[in-house]
Amino acid sequence: MSNGSNLDYSGAISNLADSVGKLVQLQIDTLNNGLKTASQFVEPFTKTTIDLATNLAGTLNSVLQSVSSAFAPKR
C-alpha cells in the first residue's frame, strides 16, 4: 500500500515539474515575442528619424550656401 501512494506522489511531483517547466518556457517565449514586436515597432520610427535628420541637414546646407552666396562680394 505504501508503494502505491509513493507512486502517486512521484507522479504528482513529475506533473508539477512539467507544468512549471512549461510555464517558464511560455514566459520566455512571451518575452522573446514581445522584444521582437517592440523592435519591429521601433524600426520604422528609427528609419524615419534618420531620413528626417538627413533631409534636414541637406536643407540646412542649402540654406547656408544661399546665405553665403548672398553675402559674398560680387566681382
Model confidence pLDDT, tens digit, residues 15-31: 999 999 999 999 999 99
Please report the pLDDT score of residue 54 as a whole number: 96
State which amino acid sits at residue 26.
L
Q: What is the pTM of this model?
A: 0.52
Q: Please list the alpha-helical segments (H only) found in the chain.
A: 2-71
pLDDT band at 1 (very low <50, low <70, confident <90, very high): very low
pLDDT band at 3 (very low <50, low <70, confident <90, very high): low
Model confidence pLDDT, tens digit, residues 46-64: 999 999 999 999 999 999 9
Assess whether pLDDT exceeds 80 at residue 40. yes
